[in-house]
Amino acid sequence: MNNTAVDQLQERLRLLQERFFERARGDVETLSGFARLIDQQQLPKVELEKCYQLLHRMAGSAGTFGLPELGQAARAIEKQMKAQLESATDSGADGLVSVSVAVADELRQLATLLENAPEMATSACAQAEADSHDGAHGMQVNVMALGHNLDYLADLVKSLAVYGFVCESGSVDCPNDIAVRLRERSSASILLCEDSGLGDVMGFREQYLPKAEHRRFPVVCVGHENSFETLYRVAEQGATAYFCEPLDMPELAERIESLVLERGSRPQGRVLIVDDDLELGEHYCLVLKQAGIIARLVSDPAELMSELSAFEPDLVLMDVQLRDYSGVTLARLIRYEPRWLGLPIVYLSSEDNPENQLDALSKGADEFLVKPVTDDYLVRSVRIRCYRARQLSDLMNRDSLTGLLKHSLIKQEVDRELARCRRAGHTSCVVMLDLDHFKRVNDTWGHGQGDIVIRTLANLLRNRLRESDVIGRYGGEEFLLILPDCEPVVAVKLIEAIGKSFAELVFWAGDDSFQVTLSAGVALINDFPVSDQAIEAADQALYQRKRDGRNGVTLYHPSLRGIKV
C-alpha cells in the first residue's frame, strides 16, 4: 500500500473515531437517564434490556477506539445488568425491576471516564502493517541469484527463465544496489545462492532488508554435497530450501513456485463482518483492508444470507448479540445451507464467560474472540484463519498433483465466464491443452516421471498466465484454460509461446533425458449458447491439431465440428 493510500486510510480511521466519540457521548447521556430511573426505583424491565444492550455495545467497542477504561467499566456494569435481567426473566417479572443504587453511581461514573477521552485516545487506530505480497499465478515470480562469483549461477538463471520466472543476478559486493532492485519488485522474490556464499546472502538480507520484509525473500541454496552435516549447516544459517547437484530443474522450479504460493496472494482473504455496531464494524473493515484483506460489513442480519452468496467469504466474524437477533441463531441458520457447512464462523463478542462461550460454540461456530481486540491481534487472527480456510478449500477443490482446479470446478468457471461475457460484452477464450505422446512418456520413463512432466506444465502455466486467467486439470494429461477479455488471435499466440518454452525443457531420468511437446485447441466462448459447447469446440480444435502433426495450436472453426482422432 503506497503512502497516499495509507494516509487516506488513517484519515478515515480518524474520522471514524470522531464518530464513535460523538456516539459515546450520547450513549453516556442515555445511561445517565437509566441511572436516574434506578435512583427512583422506576426502571421497567424493557428499559433494563435497553441499558444492558447499550453497555454490551460500549464494552465491545470502547477499547478499540482508545478508551479501554471506559470499556472495562461498561463491561463490569453489563455483567451486573445481565444477572439482574436473567433473574427478572426467571421470576416472570415484566414490570419494574429493583436495581442497586450503587449501579446507578457506576453508570454516572462513565461520563467522567469519557471526559478523559482526548488523553486516552492517543494510541487508538493502531496501524496494522501489511507484510503480504503477491502470489505466483498472474504475477511476476522474481528469482535473484546472489553471490561473489556469478558464472555458475548464470547458467542456472538461464535455465530457470524458461519456466516463466523473471530471473537476474547480483553481486553481494554491491548490497545497496541489490536492495534497491529487490524493493522495486511488487511481488515475492526468491534469493538463490550457492552454499559457499549462503552466510554472505543471509547477512545481506539481515542488514539491508527490513525484518518485516524477510518473509518476502526466502533463500534457496544449491550445493555439491548432500551430507547431514551440510544440510544441518544450511538449515542453521536460515536457508528455506536446499538442492544438491546434479539439480533436478523441474523440482527446483516447483519448489520456487510453492514458496511464492505459500506467501499468499493479495487479497489474503475475504472476511464478512456481522455486527450492528456500525462504527466498530467499519473500523474492522478499514484495518483489515490496510492489511491486504477484503472485508465487508453486514449490519442488518436480514441481509446475511444474500451477502454470503454474493461475497463468498473465507471467514465470518460475527457478534453474538445483534440487538433483536442472536448471533448463535444466525450461525445455526448459516449451516442450513450445505455450501456453508465448512465456512469458519468466529464469534467476536464482549462475552467473556467460558461456559457461555462453549454453549455458543456448540451451536454452529468455530471459535471465540473477546472484544475489544487490538488491530494487530485482529489482523493476525484473521490471516491465520483465512490461510487455514483456504488450505482446506484447496484440499477439496484442487487437484492434488498440480494444485489446479478439478474437472468439475473448471467447467463451472467456464459457465461463469460465459455469463460475464454476456453481461459485460467482452471477448473470452477457452483452451483445451494436451501433452503429446504422453503414454509413451509413462511407458518409457515411468509414471513418476510422467507426474513430474504434468506438474512442470502446471507451474509453467501459472507463471505465464494472468491473475484473471483460470487454469484447471481437465483429466489425465489434459488441461483446460479460461482466458477472460482475450481475443482468439492473442490467445493462440500466447499458447504458442508457452508451448515453445515447454518444448525447450529437458527432463532427466537417471542419465537419460527427454523432452515433451504440447498441443492445444482454442475456441471463442462468446460463439456458443452454453459452456459445454465452447469446451467441446476447443476439444475439436485440439483433435485437429493432433491430426495436423501435434506440437502447436489450432483455432476452432465451424468446419471442424464433429472431428475426432
Residue 100 CA to its chain's centroid (Å): 50
307 is catalytic: no
Q: What order of strands is seen across the sheet that includes strand 241-244? A: 166-171, 142-147, 189-194, 219-223, 241-244
Q: Which of 251, 477, 496, 504 is catalytic?
A: 477
In this structure, what is the dihedral angle of CA atoms 436, 437, 438, 444, given to the nearest 10 degrees?
Answer: -140
* Tally of CB atoms within 10 A around 388: 13
For residues 397 and 146, is the Cβ–Cβ distance under 8 A?
A: no
Q: Which of 388, 130, 140 has the alpha carbon at shortest distance from 257?
A: 140
All three cell numbers of 119: 488523553
Q: At what angle do helices 304-311 and 327-334 cross, to 10 degrees?
A: 50
Q: How far apart are CA 543 and CA 551, in angstroms?
A: 12
DSSP E strand stretches across 436-502: 470-475, 478-483
Q: What stretch of H or E contains 145?
A: strand 142-147
| Residue from 536, 561, 529 nearest 430 by CA | 536
Question: What's the rounded Cα separation, in Å, for the pair 218 and 210?
Answer: 13
**CA–CA dist 410, 473 (Å, integer):** 8
**Which active-site residues does the annotation give?**
477
